[in-house]
Amino acid sequence: MTETDLDLLKNSVDKVVRVVCRDGETMLVKVHFVSDDERDLIYDRIVTETDSNFEEHNRQPAFLIRFEDIEHVESV
């Protein structure tokens, strides 16, 4: 993840972005919080390539991903 990606995340709180992970997974997420101190992103998963791997709930929980697990970020 580059500084440009980090800036995009910081400017996208309460907005939807596409996150491409280092393991190849691509997901659309709604950004909740970006932490420079902890170097992570807290988000709601909107859609991912592996949606069938997740249990369905009435309400989707927030997820956390570390900066080092993010390949890059794209606006949508």
Residue 47 has pLDDT above 60, yes or no: yes
Task: Note whether 72 and 9 are within 8 A (CB).
Answer: no
List pLDDT tens digits, range 7-25. Answer: 999 999 999 999 999 999 9
Strands (E), 1-76: 16-21, 26-35, 40-48, 62-66, 70-75
Residue 72 has pLDDT above 60, yes or no: yes
Return the pLDDT at 49: 75
Residue 64 has pLDDT above 70, yes or no: yes
State the fold for domain 3-75: SH3 type barrels. (2.30.30)
Return the pLDDT at 51: 59
Which residues are registered as beta bridge partners of 75? 17
Residue 50 has pLDDT above 80, yes or no: no
Task: Note whether 43 and 9 are within 8 A (CB).
Answer: no
